[in-house]
């Protein structure tokens, strides 16, 4: 019969060596991001050229720089008819720099495009607040070995966005410029092709605008140009990130297999806490598995969706584990080791995760076949998004309130138990139980530290992605030097889970008495005759209510 968990039986010297080694590894994770990895994302800005297409798109031909009948000043252009679809805004991605045609690489992982609309103040063409901008967008791609202008169609879409612009009072004169917010344009879940071409038309029927000012694009004001900002993940960051995950995957898998064998060899069923740690390790193994290698050789458009689902699974299991970890050292025998005892607490985790899952499936799911789709582009989609975010935020606040409440109660329980019982026993027993308490407190503090870094990393990532879709796309958080933080947070999560797998695994030490739960010198530390066949760990036994 195993004598408790490993954390209870290791000597202080061995624990110190382990913790020192983990600290060195943690520092290495930070240094890898700081020294060897560039910023997570970079951007390219394109001033879209304005071309004339006499066929108004009916010919189906691609408009590019080589066949463009370029329009100098858009405000001075005289269309051949009332239909302005003959005006085409063109951007080829990426740039040509110093006569060399740059290429996109599969290492870039994703491509995201935001659009800036240049609107000039005009007393004749007036901008109406929150005007609806309708675009006809066509995206093509070209392989590396294809002819220069052999473009193939990737997708075509009709896009509607709300144009939010403002202008100071002193700029309200002809020639003044509106300050307009960035608009989401497209998001590709993989960078599968080296070259892309975008054709944008803004259908305006000038004659219809005279009869009905609310006709499509009649309220967007005097448009003078479009600018496209393309954002992608840096290949250098992808390289460091993938090799880090590739290195950690077999380590996590080996520790998980070792832990599973330890609890599987017990003469009893695994405890709830042991099962929770096992599921946490399994979710980490799924998160760490470097599936991104596939996208380097294969068209893999579902990469972003898969990454979001894996991350969501890990956070759901991690948040659930924190509740169980605190609760299993608190609640009494009638409810301990029973998942039903946590159904009220876990309800908020499941609710918040489900809300974000719905949002992600709608956003990422539709983008698999229409990269120009945005859940925020329609009133119904916006309502779904706002509801999902609101429900998730409320559930998160309530969850952390519960978690903090439980941790405080565990802390007070330890304090009260030690004052009431600990110093009534022998000196040898007192020292060893004090050791168990200090080790548990260290692990609890490490849990709080890991929770803080995990939550900060999650919200910083969400905030950074929101910046990529907004006005701070060029100077956002993810385009800054934040690689060290992300590699450090990744390392901390892995170290934390590996520490739990190692420290809470059943000890390989065997004793003559089943009642001896912590005993390195054949001295009984904590007696629990009522649990002779449960092999529960000493910390939970110590914190249980007295049966006297």
The answer, yes or no, to whether residue 293 has pLDDT greater than 70, is yes
87 close to 202: Cβ distance less than 8 angstroms: yes
The answer, yes or no, to whether residue 392 has pLDDT greater than 80, is no
Q: What is the mean pLDDT of residues 166-173?
A: 86
Cα–Cα distance, 433 to 528 (Å, whole number): 14
The answer, yes or no, to whether residue 251 has pLDDT greater than 90, is yes
Tell me the CB-side half-sphere exposure of residue 432, using CA atoms within 13 A.
22
Q: What is the 3-state secondary structure (H, E, C) of 105-140?
A: CHHHCCEEEEEEEEEECCCCCCECCCEEEEEEEEEE
pLDDT in tens, 97-145: 877 888 999 999 889 898 999 999 888 888 888 888 999 999 999 998 8
As a whole number of Å, the CA-based R_g of the chain is 30
* C-beta atoms surrounding 298 within 10 Å: 10
Q: Check residues 310 and 410 and name the one with the higher pLDDT.
A: 310
What is the three-class DSSP state of 328?
coil
The answer, yes or no, to whether residue 546 has pLDDT greater than 50, is no
Average pLDDT of the chain is 78
133 close to 220: Cβ distance less than 8 angstroms: yes
Q: Which pLDDT value is given to residue 524?
A: 40
Q: Which pLDDT value is given to residue 214?
A: 80
Options 1.20.1070, 1.10.10, 1.20.272, 1.10.3470; CATH for 6-40+236-506 is: 1.20.1070
Per-state percent for the chain, helix, strand, coil, to nearest 5: 50, 20, 30
Cα–Cα distance, 513 to 491 (Å, whole number): 40
Q: Which pLDDT value is given to residue 429?
A: 57
List of long-range contacts for 459-463, beta carbons under 8 Å, 24+ apart: 460/485, 461/486
* C-beta atoms surrounding 70 within 10 Å: 10
pLDDT in tens, 468-521: 555 554 455 444 457 888 888 888 889 889 888 888 887 665 433 333 433 433
Cα–Cα distance, 107 to 102 (Å, whole number): 14
Q: Which pLDDT value is given to residue 417?
A: 64
Q: What is the 3-state secondary structure (H, E, C) of 41-104?
A: EEEEEEECEEEECCCCCCCCCCCCHHHCEECCCHHHCCCCCCEHHHEEEEEEECCEECCEECCC
165, β-bridge pairs: 180
Q: Taking the domains of the chain in order of start, what are their residue ranges?
A: 6-40+236-506, 42-233
Q: What is the 3-state secondary structure (H, E, C) of 412-480?
A: HHHHHHHHHHHHHCCHHHHHHHHHHHHHHHHHHHHHHHHHHHHHHHHHHHHHHHHHHCCCCCCCCHHHC
- Which phi and psi (to 5°) does residue 433 adopt? -70, -35
Q: What is the mean pLDDT of residues 170-193?
A: 86
Q: What is the mean pLDDT of residues 346-365?
A: 83
Which of 284-288, 403-407, 533-537 shows the lowest per-residue confidence on average (mean pLDDT)? 533-537
The answer, yes or no, to whether residue 6 has pLDDT greater than 80, is no
What is the three-class DSSP state of 331?
coil
Cα–Cα distance, 91 to 48 (Å, whole number): 5
Which of 199-213, 281-295, 361-375, 503-517 shows the lowest per-residue confidence on average (mean pLDDT)? 503-517
CA distances from 432 to 1, 64, 221 (A): 20, 77, 77
The answer, yes or no, to whether residue 526 has pLDDT greater than 60, is no
**E strand or H helix that includes residue 185:** strand 183-188
* Length, in residues, of the chain: 548
Tell me the CB-side half-sphere exposure of residue 222, using CA atoms within 13 A.
19
Q: Check residues 333 and 170 and name the one with the higher pLDDT.
A: 170
Q: In what order do the strands lie in the sheet with 41-47?
A: 41-47, 222-233, 111-120, 183-188
* C-beta atoms surrounding 219 within 10 Å: 19
């Amino acid at each position: 019969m195993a004598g408790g968990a490993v954390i209870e039986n290791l000597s202080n010297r061995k624990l110190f060596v382990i913790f020192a080694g983990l600290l060195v590894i943690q520092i290495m994770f930070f240094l890898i991001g700081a020294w060897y990895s560039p910023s997570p994302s970079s951007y390219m800005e394109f001033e879209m050229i304005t071309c004339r297409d006499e066929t108004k798109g009916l010919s189906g031909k691609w408009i590019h720089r080589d066949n463009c009948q370029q329009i100098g000043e858009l405000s001075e252009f005289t269309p051949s008819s009332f239909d302005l679809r003959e005006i085409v805004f063109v951007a080829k991605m990426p740039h040509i720099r110093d006569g060399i045609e740059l290429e996109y690489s599969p290492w870039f992982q994703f491509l995201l495009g935001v659009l800036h609309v240049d609107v000039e103040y005009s007393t004749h063409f007036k901008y109406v607040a929150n005007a609806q901008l309708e675009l006809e967008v066509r995206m093509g791609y070209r392989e590396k070995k294809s002819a220069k202008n052999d473009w193939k169609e990737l997708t075509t879409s009709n896009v509607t966005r709300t144009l939010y612009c403002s202008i100071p009072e002193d700029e309200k004169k002809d020639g003044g410029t509106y300050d307009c917010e960035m608009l989401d344009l497209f998001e590709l879940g993989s960078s599968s092709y080296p070259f892309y071409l975008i054709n944008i038309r803004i259908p305006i029927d000038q004659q219809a605008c005279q009869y009905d000012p609310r006709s499509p694009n009649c309220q967007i004001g005097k448009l003078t140009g479009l600018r496209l900002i393309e954002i992608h993940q840096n290949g250098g960051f992808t390289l460091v990130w993938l090799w880090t995950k590739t290195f950690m995957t077999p380590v996590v898998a080996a520790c998980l297999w070792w832990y599973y064998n330890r609890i599987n060899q017990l003469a009893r069923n695994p405890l709830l806490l042991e099962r929770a740690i096992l599921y946490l390790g399994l979710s980490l193994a799924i998160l760490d598995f470097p599936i991104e290698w596939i996208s380097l050789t294969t068209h893999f458009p579902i990469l972003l969706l898969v990454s979001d689902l894996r991350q969501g699974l890990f956070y759901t299991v991690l948040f659930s584990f924190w509740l169980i970890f605190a609760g299993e050292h608190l609640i009494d025998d009638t409810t301990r080791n029973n998942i039903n005892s946590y159904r009220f607490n876990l309800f908020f985790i499941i609710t918040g995760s489900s809300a974000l899952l719905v949002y992600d499936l709608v956003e990422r799911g539709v983008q698999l076949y229409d990269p120009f789709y945005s859940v925020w582009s329609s009133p119904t989609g916006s309502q779904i998004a706002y509801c999902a975010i609101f429900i998730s935020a409320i559930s998160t606040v309530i969850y952390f309130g519960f978690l903090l409440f439980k941790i405080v109660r565990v802390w007070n329980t330890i304090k009260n138990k030690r004052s009431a019982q600990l110093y009534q026993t022998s000196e040898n027993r007192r020292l060893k139980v004090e050791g168990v308490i200090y080790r548990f407190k260290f692990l609890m503090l490490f849990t709080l530290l890991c929770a803080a870094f995990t939550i900060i990393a999650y919200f910083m990532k969400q905030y950074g992605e929101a910046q990529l879709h907004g006005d701070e796309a060029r100077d956002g958080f993810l385009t800054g030097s934040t690689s060290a933080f992300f590699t450090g947070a990744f390392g901390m999560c892995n170290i934390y889970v590996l520490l739990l797998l190692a420290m809470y695994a059943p000890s390989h030490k065997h004793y003559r008495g089943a009642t001896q739960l912590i005993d390195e010198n054949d001295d009984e530390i904590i007696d629990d005759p009522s649990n002779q066949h449960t092999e529960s760990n000493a910390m939970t036994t110590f914190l249980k209510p007295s049966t006297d």
